[in-house]
Chains A and B, each alone.
Chain A
Amino acid sequence: EPEVTQTPSHQVTQMGQEVILRCVPISNHLYFYWYRQILGQKVEFLVSFYNNEISEKSEIFDDQFSVERPDGSNFTLKIRSTKLEDSAMYFCASTPGPSGTGELFFGEGSRLTVL
């Protein structure tokens, strides 16, 4: 069964450092998403991406965040200067069609710990 894969599974970084989280969406999917979940809290939407550009983003997705699809398979989330409060699980998700037309397929997540 096709799945969304994410790397790394866990990253520990120092405050102020840049972090890149990587995702490989399901191959025939066209819409990609990043969510984050602070431990014990709800899943928060960060950004959606389609046709090589951001289609929607939340208030959380400020200037320190960026997303990119550098090639035909990877979808990355970059955090430029990490803060302690960026510590969370980051989930990538993909869908074959636009929002509301089907389920979100989530990866296993990348746990980011900022010290």
Chain B
Amino acid sequence: GQQVMQIPQYQHVQEGEDFTTYCNSSTTLSNIQWYKQRPGGHPVFLIQLVKSGEVKKQKRLTFQFGEAKKNSSLHITATQTTDVGTYFCINFNKFYFGSGTKLNVKP
């Protein structure tokens, strides 16, 4: 199946620091979705990006879709302990989740 790679695999930040996770594909993505999974929980939808170069914001979260539609990023400004979890990107047309970035926020 089509693979989307995510980096980094883990990120430990101090509360208040920023955080970014990247999703990369070797082929063009028709769309990309981002999900968050809290420890012990299930994936929860955050956003879907469809257009080349698209940027969407949700409070402290900024999502970008690359111009070539081969990569995407999620940036969190001023992390809080409630941001702890694993963030996954998914090329939903192909159902396959990225490997995820596990975020730990130290208070």
Asked whether A44 lies within 8 Å of B42 as measured between CB atoms, the reply is no
A44-B97 contact in complex given A100-B30, A103-B33, C-beta closer than 8 Å: yes
Interface SS, B side: mixed
Asked whether B95 lies within 8 Å of A48 as measured between CB atoms, the reply is yes
A55 to chain B, nearest CB (A): 10
A56-B95 contact in complex given A42-B88, A103-B45, A106-B43, C-beta closer than 8 Å: yes
How many chain-B residues does the 8 Å CB contact rule pick out?
23
For the A-B complex, the count of residue pairs with Cβ-Cβ distances under 8 Å equals 50
Interface size grouping (class) on chain A: 20 to 34
**Those of A67-115 within 8 Å (CB) of chain B:** 91, 99-100, 102-109
Contacts of B96 in A (CB 8 A): 45
- A43 proximal to B (CB < 8 A): yes
Contacts of A56 in B (CB 8 A): 95
B101 to chain A, nearest CB (A): 10
What are 8 inter-chain pairs, A to B, with CB distance below 8 A? A33-B95, A43-B97, A45-B1, A58-B95, A99-B93, A100-B31, A104-B35, A108-B41
